[in-house]
Amino acid sequence: MAADRRIVIENCSIATVDAHDTEHASGHVVIAGNRIESVGAGRAPEGLQDVARRIDATGHLVTPGLVNTHHHYYQWITRGLATDHNLFDWLVALYPTWARIDEEMVRAAARGSLAMMARGGVTTAMDHHYVFPRGSGDLSGAIIGAARDMGVRFTLARGSMDRSEKDGGLPPDFAVETLEGALAATEETVRQHHDTSFDAMTQVAVAPCSPFSVSTELLRDGAALARRLGVRLHTHGSETVEEEQFCKELFGMGPTDYFESTGWLGEDVWMAHCVHMNDSDIAAFARTKTGVAHCPSSNARLAAGIARVPDMLAAGVPVGLGVDGTASNESGELHTELRNALLINRLGAHREAALNARQALRLGTYGGAQVLGRSAEIGSLEPGKLADLVLWKLDTLAHASIADPVTALVFGAAAPVTASFVNGRQIVEDNRLLTADEDAIARATREEARRLARIAGH
């Protein structure tokens, strides 16, 4: 939409998720081009020029778009496998299949993953892709192209692995890269695709996979590369007790100390999971402003444990939410993670005081923007920020008797998305994608899943 054309949304409840958690029981949002022009109580200002559309959002809650901070799109075509395994056993079971992926499979899986998130209120997504089998094609390009076509704001965490089975790692030998090859390919991906502009739709992070699938040299050199190129860093950290034991046996220290020794703590870093963190680990993350992608459903699916999210937040650690790969969270939806984050954390030491509805919403919006390094542009509804926002329908049977709209969204059933805007462009209407054919995506993912299963010998 042209910068001087406006969309006016009125008569809705609004949760801005700004620094003061400002809310309006009945208010308005005005979009001008790809920016939020105004947010406030009551009707929109009179006399607005060039209004292209007015939306009567009675019965809706408007929030910032959801921000997903950890995912593995390729896993969309291996859902429902190894359903009763812990992390290491699950990886051993699935790596031989994942090592057979190719460009067409990855493109279909990325479209499936993105479609499921987008129709459920995600406006900013990321993908941590680290499996690059030899001769598999342009996997990064396929993923970035899928996100561009879907109309979602996107960060590709260009992953890598160089520790295979012969080196004591878990991936098959032919599914890893060399140290030099991984670094060179990562740098080329950043130079080709990373956009530094305020309204960037595509960014790239440097993302070696995990302590047990990459060498110390790849971690250390990857951190140096990211800082030379001015991009963020991402990896898995402290996910399971087995990982902690692995680090102590191999490196003589726990994961957090190991990461710090390789340059992997800092305000330009975020890590997935961080389930097994002691007080000193949390203090180190808080001191360095290292971010966390909390993945409650995946952590439960793989019996990894309950991350200490309330303690992290109290210490000042930036925390966002992640779907994680859909081989460990088959639903692939981020809006259900708002509820799961709240409920699972209440099983921990803080019980009913662990998280409330507004803290959960903040994790899924502003918190995610923080860990992706984009809190100045997205994550809250404020004038001047990018127009990434969602209209949740809360007047149906599922939610109509819950008086507080934020409580309805977080505690209630998954709310329908009447409209979702990214960069001022509407990409969802009445719970259906406007940018892609969901049925065609479903067919393609089913076909590619079957093809992969045949190739892998299932």
pLDDT of res. 380: 99
Residue 444 domain flag: no
The CA-CA-CA angle for residues 224, 289, 256, to 5°, reads 70
CA quadruple 447, 453, 454, 458: dihedral sign: negative
pLDDT of res. 188: 98
**Residues contacting 241, CB < 8 A, separation 6+:** 276, 305
Provide the pLDDT confidence category of residue 457 given band limits of 50, 70 and 90: confident
396 and 353 in one domain? Answer: no
70 and 60 in one domain? Answer: no
- pLDDT mean over 362-377: 98
Query: Please, which residues bridge with residue 7 across strands?
Result: 31, 53
141 and 35 in one domain? Answer: no
Q: By the 8 A CB rule, do 135 and 99 touch?
A: no
Among candidate residues 327, 352, 372, the one where a domain is terminated: 372
Q: What is the mean pLDDT of the chain?
A: 96
Q: By the 8 A CB rule, do 407 and 399 touch?
A: no
pLDDT digits (tens, 9 = 90+) for 148-185: 999 999 999 999 999 988 887 777 787 899 999 999 99
400 and 313 in one domain? Answer: no
pLDDT of res. 3: 63
299 and 225 in one domain? Answer: yes
Q: If you search the block for the tokens 């994790």, which residue do you land on?
A: 363
In three-state secondary structure terms, 431 is coil
328 and 187 in one domain? Answer: yes
pLDDT of res. 2: 62
Per-residue pLDDT for 225 more than 90?
yes
Residue 448 domain flag: no
Pairing verdict, β 389-393 and 417-422: antiparallel
312 and 211 in one domain? Answer: yes
Among candidate residues 355, 372, 389, the one where a domain is terminated: 372
Per-residue pLDDT for 1 more than 80?
no
Residue 247 domain flag: yes
Residue 458 domain flag: no
428 and 285 in one domain? Answer: no
310 and 175 in one domain? Answer: yes
Residue 455 domain flag: no
Give dist(CA 257, CA 252) in Å, integer.
Answer: 10
CATH of the domain at 56: 2.30.40.10
Residue 39 domain flag: yes
- pLDDT mean over 403-418: 98
Q: By the 8 A CB rule, do 363 and 294 touch?
A: yes
262 and 151 in one domain? Answer: yes
168 and 233 in one domain? Answer: yes
Per-residue pLDDT for 275 more than 90?
yes
pLDDT of res. 74: 98
> What range defines the domain where residue 96 resides?
66-372
What tokens does 244 get? 């902690």
259 and 149 in one domain? Answer: yes
Residue 260 domain flag: yes
Residue 453 domain flag: no
pLDDT digits (tens, 9 = 90+) for 421-439: 999 999 999 999 999 999 9
Q: Where are the alpha helices (DSSP H) in 252-353?
A: 255-261, 279-288, 296-301, 309-315, 335-345
> What radius of gyration, in Å, describes the C-alpha atoms of the chain?
21
CATH of the domain at 175: 3.20.20.140
The total domain count for the chain is 2
